[in-house]
A = this chain, B = another copy of it.
């Protein structure tokens, strides 16, 4: 799914500036399954405006850059639903430097692994809390997608809590980060 379609999706929630769309990806309702930075969003909004799938209203602000509010047009809405229905959604993409690192836990410094896992446990705990807290009166699709997120984050959290010590036990370097295992074998 390209960034233009994703932007249209965010705009279904209501008119927004590029900055606000970014926030929706970073911390908002879309943050668990979509992403995009400014350098992708701004050009995308430009093209969508050209194609009349959104309108752009410039709100002049004193002593701040003008705020450009983008709003979905009827055509834009149709286009979004058409794009989503065009073919079955492709596979999810999950990329985790954290798991990649743990894959090599046996070669990693013990302190590093401990810190990484503890930080991640806390991060997941936070995510679950955040998602549980955001009640309000969302669309029902949004509601169920949120429940999905809670389930997954909770599972990941629980797994790490359950296997924290297992991972730490794999590491070979209790604090002596710079002595390779080969040298230590002589001890």
Question: Which residues of A pack against B, CB within 8 Å?
Answer: 1, 6, 9, 12, 29-30, 32-35, 80-81, 84-85, 88-109, 112, 115-116, 119, 123, 139-142, 144-145, 147-148, 151-152, 155-156, 158-159, 163, 166-167, 170, 177
- Whether the pair B106, A32 counts as a contact (CB closer than 8 A) is no
Closest to A169 in B: B140
- Whether the pair B170, A140 counts as a contact (CB closer than 8 A) is yes
Given A140-B170, A141-B170, A163-B144, A84 and B99 contact (CB-CB distance below 8 Å): no
- Whether the pair B148, A156 counts as a contact (CB closer than 8 A) is yes
- Whether the pair B159, A102 counts as a contact (CB closer than 8 A) is no
- Whether the pair B30, A100 counts as a contact (CB closer than 8 A) is yes
- Whether the pair A94, B93 counts as a contact (CB closer than 8 A) is yes
- Whether the pair B94, A100 counts as a contact (CB closer than 8 A) is no
Closest to A107 in B: B81
Determine the distance from Cα of A152 to Cα of B151 in the docked complex, in whole angstroms: 9
- Whether the pair B142, A103 counts as a contact (CB closer than 8 A) is yes
Q: Nearest Cβ in chain B — how far from A119, in angstroms?
A: 6
Measured between beta carbons, the chain B residues less than 8 angstroms from A109 are 85
Given A85-B177, A100-B89, A106-B141, A95 and B156 contact (CB-CB distance below 8 Å): no
- Whether the pair B159, A148 counts as a contact (CB closer than 8 A) is yes
Q: Nearest Cβ in chain B — how far from A102, in angstroms?
A: 6
Closest to A92 in B: B96
